[in-house]
Amino acid sequence: MTSGVRGEGIDQYAVIGNPVAHSKSPSIHARFAEQTGERIEYGRVLGTVGEFAGDVRAFVETGGRGMNVTVPFKLDAHAFANTLTPRAAAAGAVNTLAFNADGVLGDNTDGVGLVRDIEGNLGVGLKGTRVLLLGAGGAARGVVLPMLDCGVAALTIVNRTASKAQILVDHFSDAAHAANVRFSGGGADSVEAGPYDVIVNATAGSLDDALPTCDDASFGPGTLAYDMMYSAQPTVFMRHAETLGARSSDGLGMLVEQAAESFFLWRGVRPDIGAVLRALRLELSKSI
């Protein structure tokens, strides 16, 4: 286990993952702290697969107040927390831990990060829209409930293995019914006719420059094609969507928004993400 250098009298936070050296979380939270005047230090913890609980306890024993959790430990964090927020319980995964007198609180800020990026930063209101969610893994699972809660009219989940999409539909069916959302899922044949308002790529395909299976007719000039991955250059999914006339975005804003939600959970202060997002985008452009 490795972590950042700790300062005396300053609250300690970190991101835990394996690998973790690439994580932008320390840079994001350092900017949040500078902006808000919060006295924190934020480092990285290289977690050991199979030893997650021990690594987290060691961090807490040295004064750790909270952690962000990235792959492959989000399920471990869910099991480790003794209290879960409703959105973490629904997602079945945890990306934020807060350590306090009551124990360990587990939260999942991914979904709210996605919604805030789409609505706040990209200016696309989700209420009443038709949304297509590509993928049925952990990334997709974390955003379903926040999507349902923000008032979409319809949400369709499509996955190469149709049964995995159906598992998510079954899991969230009560929430969809309560929100009066038309909710369905399965394989490629589950796609409704006509262009969607928003298409979210929650697969990891863009990491390998692989295009997810999706009907080209689902894209139109009024469609926002959103890839949860991000890179210096537009992803293959973004490029494909643009050839079909859609507007596209990567997931960098989601990364910053979910971090801001974690920061708020820990410190009770909500940072302004605009300047931070612009700085990260500039860093990415310089890496080309």
pLDDT tens string 48-74: 999 999 999 999 999 999 999 998 999
CATH number at residue 276: 3.40.50.10860
Residue with tokens 């919604």: 115
**Is 58 annotated in some ligand binding site?**
no
> Has residue 8 got a pLDDT over 90?
no
Q: Do residues 266 and 218 both lie within one domain?
A: no
Q: Is 201 annotated as a binding residue?
A: no
Q: Model confidence over 252-284: pLDDT tens digits?
A: 999 999 999 999 999 999 999 999 999 999 988
Cross-strand partners of 68:
15, 96
Please determine, for residue 194, whether its predicted confidence score (pLDDT) is greater than 50.
yes
Residues 137 and 264 occupy one common structural domain = no
Same domain, 20 and 81: yes
Q: Give the per-residue pLDDT at 208.
A: 86
160 is annotated as contributing to ligand binding: yes
Are 152 and 263 in a shared domain? no
How confident is residue 288, by pLDDT bands cut at 50, 70 and 90? low
* 136 and 57 in a common domain: no
Q: Decide: 2 and 46 in contact? Cβ < 8 Å.
A: yes
Determine the structural domain holding residue 150 and report its residue range.
111-250
Do 117 and 214 share a structural domain? yes
Task: Count how many residues are written for the chain.
Answer: 288
- CATH of residue 152's domain is 3.40.50.720
Is there a catalytic annotation at residue 286? no
Q: Is 161 annotated as a binding residue?
A: yes
Write down the catalytic residue from 29, 44, 74, 78. 74
pTM of the entire predicted model:
0.92
258 annotated as belonging to a binding site for a ligand: yes
pLDDT tens figures, 67-121:
999 989 999 999 999 999 999 998 999 999 999 999 999 999 999 999 999 999 9
> Does residue 76 share a domain with residue 99?
yes
User: Residue 39, SS3?
Assistant: coil
pLDDT at 196: 98
Query: What total number of domains does the chain contain?
Result: 2
